Amino acid sequence: MEKEKKRKFAHAISIRIALPALFTILLFVTATFVIILPSFKENLLEKKREMLREMAEIVYDVIAAYEKMERNGEMSREAAQKQVLQIIADLRYGPANKDYFWINDMNALIVVHPYRPDLRGEAVPDFRYPTGKNLLEEFVRVVKAQGAGYVEYLFQWQDDPNRIVPKLSYVKGFAPWGWVIGTGLYIDDVNVEIGLIAKQLNAIATVILLLNAFLAFYIIRHTVLADRVRRIIWEERERLLTALEESNERFRSLVETTSDWIWEIDPAGAYTYSSPKVRDLLGFAAEEIIGKQLEDLVAVQELDRTSRIFKKLIASRKPFNGFETVCQTRDGRVVVIEKNGVPVFGDDGELLGYRGIARDISERKNAIEALKKSRDELHTSLEETVKSLALAAEKRDPYTAGHQMRVDTLACAIARELGLPEKQIEGLHFAALLHDIGKISLPSEYLAKPARLSAQERAIIKCHTEVGYEILKNIPFPWPVADIVYQHHEHLDGSGYPRGLTDKEILLEAKILTVADVVEAMSSHRPYRPSLGLETAVEEIRSGRGVLYHAESVDACLRLIADKRVDLTAAAW
């Protein structure tokens, strides 16, 4: 009867301990998959929609610039439309550089489609809106009703006409020419991103679930044991010894069945104990490990490095964590093992060896490498997109072809000479490539005029910094690219433009860019004058040092030129 009461008491304690843990797990899973993940998906989709709108607005501005040249009599409508269509047909963006823009007219006929040039002057065949309406007619309806808007439909996957998938597009009307500008994204792309995040959340939730379950089990177990010990104090020695033996057996079972490989080594590094988990990790029985050393399990190419580091760790007589070793299993596979260990000392302070745990982290390492690869691919996509935008600006001013690239080279060299971190230099790099993007809106005859510009024309030219800022300000760069472009014609004494900023109001990157821009511009040819020469450019920044131009940037530039560590004769890309 007493034994049954004790069992019920222990069961009640277990429930009281387990319920909060289970409730915590339930709350976490509910919050993650019912609130956080759907909210994140909605936010991500909203950001994608906003990106589509911004990209369409950029193309709209390009078309508007050419339409303005038509209205000003600078070119015929046919010529203006031909140039615009050529630009749009070649314009790409997105992670695979395959996302594109298209144009149809208000009669629901294709004007240009990069991946379906055969559809020019035709309606899109086969693909129809789920309600039965032709999707081009739907684009026209949205434009007529709202001027611009979003449309969901089915269309081919990028350049694969045999794959039809859901797509979300943003369309905007260009009334002067009766055009509808459109670009879109594939819903599957968003779902893939959400899927990756959900997978990561699943992994985190699983780990937290296991940890909570383990902690709950641990607390329950030790609470029951503590209660049992208090009662055993008044019981005979035989029952105490029996209980201790049972406790040891349970602990041994826990060690033998844990998911981690538990090990012990002597001061020389030879294994004195190994849990059976080693068979799952390396394919060896626990008995085969006894007497071996770590060097016997390591892959040949990693032997020297691993042996040197491990001996140093043991000699330190300190705990270690996260020690990674590349081991070879019995069947020849290569796995990455992470070891954590603590030293074991005798009563006299003598080192008896180490004990610790090890686990296979091969999948985690592969996941990290995949993340790095994804990050590098995104960076490459950003680099190509920025270069495409910069190239679009230079196409408007062929006399300065290569200017932005040479300014980028010199500006980044100055920044490195000043010791700026690479992350900051990367932002300067993109700003340098785009610093004249605003010229895309300027009349071409001003850019190519073989004589000095009038005061009015110079005033218009100066607007390119503000236009560049407006183009770039809503692009979510991780650096202040738009502000750098906005400030690259400002001077320390407030005599620059467009806002007349002074020293402390100007970003360091903009100060560097100003010096690089002046040197490159003066040493290059222009429509209205031949090159003034590098010596004249050097004299200009030297005379303006500390007044117009950032002193440290000027000094760094002069050193680079004197040591011939930069080449300002590089051709355009």
**Averaged pLDDT of the chain:** 79
Domain at 369-562: CATH code: 1.10.3210.10
| Percent with pLDDT over 90 in the chain | 23
The neighbour count for residue 360, using CB atoms within 10 Å, is 20
The pLDDT value given to residue 453: 65
Residue 417 pLDDT class (50, 70, 90 cuts): very high
The neighbour count for residue 371, using CB atoms within 10 Å, is 11
**Average pLDDT over every residue of 89-113:** 85
Best-predicted range by mean pLDDT among 100-109, 255-264, 391-400?
100-109
- Closest C-alpha to 427, from 347, 332, 510: 510
Best-predicted range by mean pLDDT among 220-224, 269-273, 442-446, 493-497?
493-497
- Tens digit of pLDDT for each residue in 150-208? 988 877 776 676 777 888 889 999 999 999 999 988 887 777 777 777 777 677 767 77
Q: Could you please state the CATH topology (level 3) that the domain comprising 259-360 is classified under.
A: Beta-Lactamase (3.30.450)
Spatial contact of 77 and 68, defined as CB atoms under 8 Å apart: no
The pLDDT value given to residue 373: 74
pLDDT at 113 over 60: yes
- Tens digit of pLDDT for each residue in 304-321? 888 888 888 888 888 888
User: Can you tell me the distance from the alpha carbon of 477 to that of 522, in angstroms, rounded to the nearest whole number?
Assistant: 30
pLDDT at 10 over 60: no
Best-predicted range by mean pLDDT among 362-376, 389-403, 417-431?
417-431
Outline which parts of the chain fall under CATH 1.10.3210.10: 369-562
At 346, phi and psi to the nearest 5? -80, 180
The pLDDT value given to residue 396: 60
Residue 572 pLDDT class (50, 70, 90 cuts): very low
- Tens digit of pLDDT for each residue in 216-256? 667 666 665 665 665 666 566 667 667 667 666 666 666 66
pLDDT at 494 over 90: yes
Spatial contact of 528 and 547, defined as CB atoms under 8 Å apart: no
Phi-psi region of 136 (alpha: psi -120 to 50; beta: other; left: phi over 0): alpha
User: Can you tell me the distance from the alpha carbon of 332 to that of 53, in angstroms, rounded to the nearest whole number?
Assistant: 54
The pLDDT value given to residue 570: 54
Domain at 50-193: CATH code: 3.30.450.20
Residue 2 pLDDT class (50, 70, 90 cuts): low
- Which has more confidence, 251 or 475? 475
Identity at 123, one-letter amino acid code: A
Range of weakest confidence among 122-126, 256-260, 272-276 = 122-126
Residue 393 pLDDT class (50, 70, 90 cuts): low
- Closest C-alpha to 171, from 155, 186, 184, 159: 184
Residue 527 token pair: 């429509």
- Tens digit of pLDDT for each residue in 339-356? 888 888 888 888 888 888
- Which has more confidence, 253 or 120? 120
Outline which parts of the chain fall under CATH 3.30.450.20: 50-193, 259-360
Identity at 191, one-letter amino acid code: N
- Tens digit of pLDDT for each residue in 550-567? 999 999 999 999 888 887
The pLDDT value given to residue 296: 81
The pLDDT value given to residue 456: 75
- Tens digit of pLDDT for each residue in 19-75? 666 676 677 667 666 777 677 677 877 888 898 899 899 999 999 999 999 999 999
User: Can you tell me the distance from the alpha carbon of 124 to that of 26, in angstroms, rounded to the nearest whole number?
Assistant: 50
